[in-house]
Amino acid sequence: MDKKKIEDDIIAKLKTVYDPEIPVDIYELGLIYGVVVEDDGQVEVTMTLTSPSCPVAESLPGDVKKKVEEVDEVKGATVTLTFDPPWEKSMMSEEAQLELGFM
pLDDT at 11: 97
pLDDT reading at 1 higher than 90: no
pLDDT at 100: 87
pLDDT tens digits, 21-60: 788 999 999 999 999 999 999 999 999 998 888 778 888 9
What does 9-51 look like in DSSP terms, one character per residue?
Answer: HHHHHHTT-B-TTSSSBTTTTT-EEEEEE-TTSEEEEEE--SS
DSSP state of 91: G
pTM for this one? 0.92
SS3 61: helix
Instruction: Report how far residue 35's alpha carbon sits from residue 46's, in angstroms, rounded to the nearest whole number.
Output: 7
101: left (phi over 0), alpha (psi -120 to 50) or beta: left
pLDDT reading at 14 higher than 90: yes
Measure Cα distances from 43 to 16, 47, 73, 91 in Å.
18, 13, 10, 22
Structural domains in the chain, CATH included, are 3-84 (3.30.300.130)
